[in-house]
Amino acid sequence: MAKKKASPNTNPKNNGATATSASVEQLLTTALERGSDTLETGRYIVTFKEGAGEAALDSFSSEHGLRVADARDFKDQAAVLEAADDADVFHFPEIGAALISGGAAQSRSLTAQAELTTDSPYETIEPEYFAFSDQVTREFMRTYGTKTEKTSGDFLRGFLQAAEMIAREFGFDQEGAIEEGVEAEVVGATWGLNVCKVPPSVRSGLGIRVAVLDTGFALNHPDFIGRPIASATFVGQPVQDLNGHGTHTAGTACGPKAPAGTTPRYGIGYRASMFIGKVLQNNGSGTTATVLAGMNWAIANRCPVISMSLGAQTGVQAAYTAAGQSALNNGLLMIAAAGNAAAPTGAPANSPTIMSVAALDQNLRPASFSDFGKIEIAGPGVDVFSSWYMPVRYKIISGTSMATPHVSGCAALWAETSPNLRALNLWKKLQATAKHLPYPATRVGAGLVQAP
């Protein structure tokens, strides 16, 4: 159990449904009950000034009388927020940030409106937001567009309805779903791998740890039987993926070189070490804190490639920027989906320390749904074939979510070529070797990612 510093002034019951240990469902229910017209959860994220971690923790306990739980008190820093019990604060040491409960933040005036003094160990205090798989965002925009702005609470409710819709067993459009035993329409390799020049590459991702932070993974998928997989959950549900999104993205980044039968090759880093972090629930929803917990775990486990097909249409969040910088400082690279709202790049991809990925169609044109603005690179993101939960086994879906693992998989291949290709060097190599496309950098970045 995480260690905490006791406080006679703190009553954990006062934190209610915005406690650090509150589940995503509790936070969603509470947000809907208060008629929220934003994606805020009611909790807050505190980002520390560089080198001020210990001072910040001391301030929480001695100055504000708060109880602190720490990710370092969990094996491999696989922090379980629900196990924080009565802690007011949950610390992510690799990032230099912490989650603070809504009740504690309000009673101590540690909210986004707080005026921080120059000698404060805190850099920023921001609202925590809900986060979704990019597929949820795309379904929301397709179904609701901007119509949900008319009534308080409709905005968040629309996202939840989109999440529930695609979380059902047949939530995604079934065209292109390939049941076990049915031949795929393509042979050899998927169109995405072919345009990224993956099949001719002699690299396999051997020795490279690739973290995929998503809805988990189908651990019983026959294409991965016998494959070592390190995993952790940060949302109070088993790692086993009942959504499909996480299995699909992990399949593209790390799937097998030669699937059985007539199934085309759909995986890139087939010998990479897989690290699966479940930061989104089976309905595709999570929060800033669940994502930060996964980021913290991936950094602690020194994964050179950290792939994230998730986010929210919010502005730049300081904690995500700090996480990206921590990754770079430790020789790691975070790669995130730009978003599917046909709008400016969402978080965490909009952070300057995280590589943002746009989606392309089979004609190598920017996908109509792909976000724009801060874009570093592009990948195949329309009608992408990859693994899915059983018994469906495989599926064809679209999104910047699908483009991102193409970049992450190629990043693993490049990282294998040299121990010097890490962090910013790996970022620059991916851009320098990308295939130039006749579109603005705000749509495709440096161009289409290419394998070594």
Chain centre distance of CA 170:
23
Residue 351, pLDDT above cutoff 80: yes
Q: Distance (Å, rounded) from C-alpha 132 to C-alpha 214?
A: 9
Residue corresponding to tokens 């934003």:
38
Task: State pLDDT tens for residues 60-77.
Answer: 999 999 999 999 999 999
DSSP notation for 298-319: HHHTT-SEEEE-EEBS----HH
- Average pLDDT (292-305) is 98
Residue 93, pLDDT above cutoff 80: yes
Residue corresponding to tokens 């910040």:
56
- Three-state SS for 75-98 is HHHCCCHHHHCCCCEEEECCCCEE
Q: Distance (Å, rounded) from C-alpha 401 to C-alpha 404?
A: 5
- Start-end of H helices in 89-133: 102-107
Q: Which of 201, 285, 351, 401 is catalytic?
A: 401
Which residue, among 319, 324, 321, has the nearest Cα to 335 in the 3D structure? 324
Q: Which of 245, 273, 326, 406 is catalytic?
A: 245
State the burial class of residue 300 (Cβ atoms within 10 Å of its Cβ: 0-12, 13-18, 19+): buried
73 touches 3 (CB < 8 A): yes
Give the per-residue pLDDT at 31: 83
Task: State pLDDT tens for residues 134-143.
Answer: 777 766 766 6
DSSP-derived pairing of the beta strands 305-308 and 209-214: parallel
Give the per-residue pLDDT at 382: 97
Give the per-residue pLDDT at 16: 64
Mean pLDDT (the chain) is 88
Give the per-residue pLDDT at 35: 74
- Average pLDDT (126-146) is 77
CATH number of 168-444, picked from 3.40.50.200, 3.40.350.10, 1.20.1600.10, 3.10.20.600:
3.40.50.200
Confidence of residue 163 (pLDDT cuts 50, 70, 90): low
Give the per-residue pLDDT at 158: 67
Residue 59, pLDDT above cutoff 60: yes
Of 9-23, 100-114, 285-299, 324-338, the least confident? 9-23
Give the per-residue pLDDT at 25: 87
Which residue, among 192, 252, 188, 201, has the nearest Cα to 379 in the 3D structure? 192
Catalytic: 401? yes
Residue ranges of E strands in 175-332: 209-214, 229-233, 273-278, 285-287, 305-308, 310-311
Domain residue ranges in the chain: 12-128, 168-444
Model-level pTM?
0.91
Q: Distance (Å, rounded) from C-alpha 130 to C-alpha 313?
A: 10
State the burial class of residue 342 (Cβ atoms within 10 Å of its Cβ: 0-12, 13-18, 19+): middle
Of 4-18, 113-127, 235-249, 311-325, the least confident? 4-18
Q: Which of 86, 88, 134, 214 is catalytic?
A: 214
DSSP-derived pairing of the beta strands 209-214 and 273-278: parallel
Give the per-residue pLDDT at 161: 67
Which residue, among 234, 244, 278, has the nearest Cα to 79 in the 3D structure? 234
Catalytic: 245? yes
